[in-house]
């Protein structure tokens, strides 16, 4: 062991969550020596990669599966990302975030009534959110109304102040800004895969592909991989993972902004929606689909072994839990239907039916599979209760923290980093955290985080 590879805090994972935590520790705490270790040669190229997510800053206005309390927390939490980008120069900001209109669309009597109630419930949280009818929808998104039965009821909640985010570029920016903090040692080690975490008498040894790193405190921000690391140290053995892979389709540009559908609150997956794509011009990207696929990273079959070790796939309790969850009639039908969407050739035809609910005039020739687009959303399972655990997962150990942050984890990455900085103080009371400074810099003024700071609570549903 030597000082060159010894740190106060080591962060594993260079996505939006890991880099946000690096930035917060570097700028707002008195910790002097911090390292972030990322197995790839770039930051932000797994879940934060724009081809692997919907590129949306989720604030809860068009996500109808968010209950009121969650929307109340998510809105100011996600807007921390917007406030961070506001601090950048226009040249730095442009590759990360762009303004875009967005709406959630209700079709038919039941959905319209549900959306009416939704607006009454959450309207006060979003000053720019408006309820609009057929005429205004046609003015803003004409393709939604073109060719639609005039007797079909439609309603939308519209927000002109939406944001599309390249979370991969956000991760890069956060890493760069952290390294610029003076009088601190902030290292980012790229292309260095952590193979094993070993606890010692006075900290942890991270065995990596390029040598060992030593740290007093470790934070693992590797989403689904975090559970595998936790289990290797004896934590979280009661948890498993259901691996859901998403895929997307392209059409010529049919939408001016983002259009979501009313979502089923019982499902952990978003309904099919349309987005202008940040990586391709003049197209609308549709999706995601959802299918069971036993890997931890999209399009990387070699991560199947990692899934098996993380999920505890050889335990009978795991399979009983999978059966109880996946054979639920609602989920079973949903996944079966989505299986057809990914079939060669005919999958496009089946998926077209979903997209035509938003754009009635679409034809089969308009839609093509978005090859190499789509990510993994691994849902946690409690094998003791045989229940699906929606949202964020956090496992606390002895001076070690394991984060699993599916969507909207990237949207609330700075908020979650603030919560984890609070936890570091509990690990080491000598650490100071200028939380008020962070709130002043990053909290939206019209919707503060509130008197009772949810970052101090044990759970937070992402």
- CATH number, domain containing residue 35: 3.50.50.60
DSSP label at residue 264:
P
Q: Which of 140, 165, 190 represents a domain boundary (last residue)?
A: 165
Choose one of 336, 354, 389: the last residue of a domain: 389
pLDDT of 454 reads 40
**Which two three-digit tokens encode residue 325?**
């969850």
Annotate 162-180 with b (16+ C-beta within 10 A) or e (fewer). Answer: bbbbbbbbbbbbbbebbbe
Q: Are 377 and 318 part of one and the same domain?
A: yes
> CA-CA distance, 37 to 23, in Å (whole number)?
14
Host domain of residue 16: 3-57+70-94+166-235+397-456
Question: How many angstroms from the chain centroid is the CA of residue 184?
Answer: 30
Strands 393-396, 6-12: parallel, antiparallel or unpaired by DSSP? unpaired
Backbone angles phi, psi at 454, to 5 degrees: -65, -10
Q: Is the domain of 384 the same as that of 412?
A: no
99 alpha-carbon distance from chain centroid: 19
What integer pLDDT is reported at residue 452 of this predicted model? 42
Specify whether 299 is located in the same domain as 427: no
- From first CA to last CA, the distance across the chain in angstroms is 39
The reply to whether 278 and 410 lie within a common domain is no
Closest CA to 45 of 215, 156, 175, 144: 175
pLDDT tens profile 77-135:
999 999 999 999 999 999 999 999 999 999 999 999 999 999 999 999 999 999 999 99
Indicate whether 161 and 175 sit together in one domain.
Answer: no
Are 133 and 155 members of one domain? yes
Give the contacts of 50 (CB within 8 A, at least 6 positions apart).
166, 167, 168, 278, 279
Kindly compute the dihedral angle of the four CA atoms of residues 196, 387, 14, 302, in this order, to the nearest 10 degrees. Answer: 60
The answer as to whether 15 is a domain residue is yes
Domain annotation covers residue 339: yes
**Cα–Cα distance between 143 and 35 in angstroms, integer?**
49
The answer to whether residue 317 is domain-embedded is yes
- Structural domain includes residue 84: yes
One domain for residues 170 and 82: yes
Residue 118 C-alpha from the chain's centroid: 23
Low-confidence ranges of the chain (pLDDT < 70): 1-3, 266-269, 407, 444-462
118: in domain: yes
CB 415 within 8 A of CB 233: no
Within 8 A by CB and 6+ apart from 379, the residues are: 241, 242, 244, 268, 388, 389, 390, 406
Those residues with Cβ within 8 angstroms of residue 396's Cβ, 6 or more apart along the chain or in another chain:
423
Which DSSP helix (H) or strand (E) runs through 73?
A: helix 68-86
Q: Where are the alpha helices (DSSP H) in 211-315?
A: 224-232, 304-311
Same domain, 384 and 445: no
- Helix boundaries (H) for 342-434: 346-355, 413-427
Count of domains observed in the chain: 3
Q: For residue 127, what are the CA distances in angstroms to 94, 99, 112, 257, 367?
A: 25, 16, 21, 19, 36
**Element housing 114 (H / E):** helix 109-122
Q: At which residue do the structure tokens 């949903």 appear? A: 334
383 and 330 in one domain?
A: yes
Residue 64 lies in a domain: no
For the chain, counts of helices (H) and of strands (E): 14, 20
Q: Pick from 124, 127, 117, 115: which is nearest to 157 by CA?
A: 115
Which pTM value belongs to this model? 0.92
Task: Give residues with Cβ within 8 angstroms of 2, minimum separation 6.
Answer: none
State whether 272 and 385 are in the same domain: yes
What integer pLDDT is reported at residue 20 of this predicted model? 98
> Residue 452 contacts by C-beta under 8 Å, 6 or more apart in sequence?
none
Q: Are residues 361 and 420 in the same domain?
A: no
In a domain, 435, yes or no: yes
For residue 219, give both structure tokens.
């934070």
Instruction: Using the 3D structure, point to which of 359, 389, 419 is the last residue of a domain.
Output: 389
- 423 Cβ partners below 8 Å, 6+ apart? 396, 401
Retrieve residue 329's tokens: 């009639």
Contacts of 343 (CB under 8 A, 6+ apart): 350
Cα 325 from Cα 316, distance rounded (Å):
14
What pLDDT is attached to residue 340?
A: 87
Strands (E), 39-112: 97-107
Domain for residue 62, yes or no?
A: no
- In this structure, are 85 and 214 located in the same domain? yes
């Amino acid at each position: 062991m030597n000082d060159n590879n010894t740190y106060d805090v080591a962060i594993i994972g260079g996505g939006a969550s890991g880099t946000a935590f690096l930035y917060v520790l570097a700028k707002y705490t008195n910790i002097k020596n911090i390292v972030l270790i990322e197995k790839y040669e770039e930051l932000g190229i797994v879940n934060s990669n724009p081809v692997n997510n919907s590129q949306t800053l989720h604030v809860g206005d068009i996500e109808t599966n968010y209950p009121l309390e969650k929307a109340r927390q998510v809105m100011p939490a996600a807007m921390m990302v917007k406030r961070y980008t506001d601090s950048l120069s226009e040249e730095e900001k442009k590759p990360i975030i762009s303004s875009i209109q967005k709406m959630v669309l209700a079709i038919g009597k039941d959905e319209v009534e549900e959306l009416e109630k939704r607006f009454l419930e959450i309207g006060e949280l979003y000053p720019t959110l408006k309820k609009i009818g057929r005429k205004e929808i046609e003015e803003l998104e004409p393709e939604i109304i073109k060719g639609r039965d005039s007797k079909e009821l439609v309603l939308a909640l519209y927000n002109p102040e939406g944001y599309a985010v390249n979370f991969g570029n956000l991760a890069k920016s956060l890493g760069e800004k952290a390294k610029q903090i003076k009088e601190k040692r902030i290292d980012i080690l790229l292309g260095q895969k952590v193979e094993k975490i070993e606890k010692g008498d006075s900290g942890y040894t991270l065995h990596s592909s390029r040598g060992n790193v030593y740290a007093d405190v470790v934070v693992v921000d590797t989403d689904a991989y975090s559970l595998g690391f936790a289990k290797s140290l004896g934590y979280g053995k009661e948890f498993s993972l259901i691996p859901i892979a998403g895929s997307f389709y392209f059409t010529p540009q049919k939408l001016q902004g983002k259009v979501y559908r009313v979502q089923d609150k019982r499902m952990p997956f978003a309904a099919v929606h349309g987005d202008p794509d940040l990586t391709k011009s003049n197209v609308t990207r549709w999706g995601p689909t959802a299918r069971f696929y036993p890997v931890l990273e999209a399009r990387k079959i070699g991560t199947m072994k990692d899934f098996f070790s993380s999920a505890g796939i050889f335990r009978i309790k795991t399979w009983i839990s999978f059966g109880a969850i996946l054979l639920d009639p609602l989920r079973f039908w949903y996944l079966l239907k989505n299986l057809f969407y990914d079939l060669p050739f005919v999958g496009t035809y089946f998926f077209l039916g979903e997209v035509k609910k938003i754009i009635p005039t679409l034809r089969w020739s308009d839609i093509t599979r978005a090859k190499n687009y789509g990510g993994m959303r691994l849902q946690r399972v409690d094998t003791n209760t045989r229940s699906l655990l929606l949202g964020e997962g956090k496992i606390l150990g002895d001076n070690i923290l394991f984060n699993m942050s599916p969507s909207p984890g990237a949207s609330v990455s700075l908020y979650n980093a603030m919560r984890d900085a609070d936890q570091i103080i509990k690990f080491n009371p000598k650490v100071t955290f200028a939380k008020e400074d962070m709130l002043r810099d990053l909290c939206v003024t019209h919707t503060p985080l509130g008197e009772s700071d949810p970052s101090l609570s044990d759970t937070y549903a992402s």
